[in-house]
Amino acid sequence: MTVGKWVVERWSAERRSLERRAVKQRAALKGDELTLWLSWTGLTWFAFLSSLLFVEVGERIDLSLGEGVIGGGLVGLAQSLVLRPYMPGAYRWLMASLISWAALMLFHIGALGWMAPATLSLPLRGGFGLLQGAYVGLGLGMGQWLAMRRQVVMAWRWVPISGMIWAVAIALGWVIGGGLRMSSGLFVSEVVGLAVAWGAIAALSGLGIVLLLRATPAEKASGTKKIDSHRKLAATKITEHSLQKP
């Protein structure tokens, strides 16, 4: 068996496995989209609120590694429990969340979900919220994509979805928190703003998960056709290269 033929067979087997999993996902999700969205939204928001028992909201730019892992771990645990009936190996989501939050801590941006900006300028809060929220969302999305890429068709879409959700939610929460703080003079207004941000993250990411898990046959077919064409081209090049060797 040539190297190229072996590569093609392995890729074909992987594609068939992914297609079978996609069929099971749609069967499990059929008619249950609202339940999944409500469960995801409620538990994710509750997990963020529960993290306040362990993580202190403030204007500091860094949380300790332990605080970040605990806060992110609570959210990841809640989400993995919701995903269990719909995605094989949902425990990987929890592991990916823990590792991703730990990595974000090391890059000094993991505090974003629990911090309030020092500035009260609403335009600055909105701008920095969009930018820094996108960083965190993309980082988390990358880790979570790695956890579900073999279980979910076209799972790469979760990376930009996560980035956009976090950007919008953090900007919204910081602007609301800043506005309330200027009118009341109380720092607790920042916690209210973050609670709004957490609710937006929970609701929008729940919608994203539902759309991701219910990938239509047309989307699946077009996606696999593109993948197959690239893989066959790569396999052909490998075969030609092996035949040219003396």
Per-residue pLDDT tens digits for 79-94: 999 999 888 888 899 9
Q: How confident is the model at residue 45 (pLDDT cuts 50, 70, 90)?
A: very high
What contacts 165, CB < 8 A, 6 or more positions away?
Answer: 137, 200, 201, 204, 205, 208
3-state SS class at 86: coil
Q: How confident is the model at residue 183 (pLDDT cuts 50, 70, 90)?
A: very high
Which amino acid is located at 188 in the chain? V
Q: What is the mean pLDDT of residues 124-145?
A: 95
Ramachandran class of 147: left when φ > 0, alpha when ψ lies in -120 to 50, beta otherwise: alpha
Q: Measured on CA atoms in the order 46, 48, 53, 57, is the torsion positive or negative?
A: negative
